[in-house]
Amino acid sequence: MIPRIDAARLADPDDPSHAALLQDMAHAATETGFLTVHNTALSGEDVRAVIEAYRAFFHLPATRKARIDMAATGSNRGWGAPGAERVDPNANADYKQVFDMGFELAADDPLARHGLKYYAPNHWPEGLTGFRETLEAYYAQSMGVALDLLRGLARSLRAPHDFFDDKFDRPMALLRGNFYPERPAWATEKDFGIGTHTDYGCLTLLATDGTPGLEVRKRGGGWIPLQAPPGEFIVNFGEMLEMWTGGRVRATPHRVVGTAAERISVPLFFNPNYDTNVAPMGSGKTVLAGDHLSRRYDETYLHLANGTG
Ligand SMILES: O=C(O)CCC(=O)C(=O)O
Ligand SMILES: [Fe+2]
């Protein structure tokens, strides 16, 4: 069973169902690796507006999207063409397209001096009215929702509720639009919208247009289809949090095979500040969050893996 959690109640320690929700959260984190949430600060309308903004972008002619192609700019901002990523080394490159934006540091932030790619400037398409504003507003709001969920998670694992707060004040948070066109006629069993993978970071807050497509791997084998209409979110945990918690929180594999229906999904990959130590707690080791992420990006974005960026 994948827990379904009321986010407002989870955030309110005085709510009568708070203790039960913390248990659901602990179960989701340590067993299923997935949950759904509703009753957040983001309405169905907010999400629909974001999805339609992405749709307008993805429906632009490829020549216009190519101006901000990340393979040409060498960053992980802007458009990722079909085949730009391979998340499963045993499968072919994904047929999805993506648009990525991330956190921009203030010019006087000490981290800005290092010219880190996790905080690179965003690339915006020209002449697409409202696109940037819609995404920037959603980016800020969705990070608030994600931080609230991390506070609930911290409580559910019997850590101080603000454990994550100062580790996410300059987060390497990446907001992505995934565009899955109709599953191509040429697709083989090695072709996926997105191949089987676990997410790299800590917590992923995923909105979708309501079209089915996501499948979550069951512990004993097999796949569970998981859906959420705009206004409900799918939440899962990534490899970095799995490592950080010494394996207590689980990163669960998932994939999208794709169907005859076009589909858009919008994950916020909520990753901590670059210099957060995400080595197993209490191990005395140091693994910087930025180094972990950098290694996984290099493995996945084909333009980085091939050194052509
Ligand atoms: O499209 C989806 O439902 C899942 C996307 C996903 O797993 C990802 O972008 O990491
Ligand atoms: Fe994923």
Which tens digit of pLDDT belongs to each residue from 86-99? 999 999 999 999 99
Residue 307 pLDDT level (bands cut at 50, 70, 90): very low
Give residue limits of the domains in the chain.
4-305
Ligand 1, pocket residues at CB < 6 Å: 176, 178, 194, 199, 206, 208, 213-214, 254, 256, 265, 267
Rounded Cα distance between 305 and 78, Å, is: 18
What's 4-305's CATH class? mainly beta
Residue 116 has pLDDT above 80, yes or no: no
Mutate to test the pocket of ligand 1, among 97, 178, 183, 217 (most ligand atoms within 8 A of CB): 178
Task: State the ligand closest to the CA atom of 259.
Answer: 1
Q: Confidence band (pLDDT; 50, 70, 90) for 306?
A: low
Given a contact cutoff of 8 angstroms between Cβ atoms, the answer to whether 47 and 210 are in contact is: no
pLDDT at 106: 85
Confidence of residue 309 (pLDDT cuts 50, 70, 90): very low
Task: Please tell me the least confidently modeled range out of 70-84, 161-175, 196-210, 247-261.
Answer: 70-84
Q: What pTM does this model have? A: 0.96
Which protein residue's CA is at the shortest distance from atom 3 of ligand 1? Answer: 214
Instruction: Report residue 170 as tokens.
Output: 């300059």
What's the pLDDT at 243?
Answer: 96
Neighbours of ion ligand 2 (CB under 5 A): 199
Please tell me the distance between residue 176's alpha carbon and the centre of ligand 2 in angstroms: 11
Q: How far is the CA of 128 from the centre of ligand 2 (A)?
A: 27
Q: What is the pLDDT of residues 245-297, one digit of tens each?
A: 999 999 999 999 999 999 999 999 999 999 999 999 999 999 999 999 888 87
Yes or no: say if 23 and 242 are a contact pair by the CB < 8 Å rule: no
Does the interface predicted TM-score (ipTM) exceed 0.85? Answer: yes
Give 245 Cα–ligand 2 centroid separation in angstroms. 19
Please give the Cα distance from 142 to 273 (Å, whole number): 17
The CA dihedral of 187, 188, 190, 192, to the nearest 10 degrees, is 30
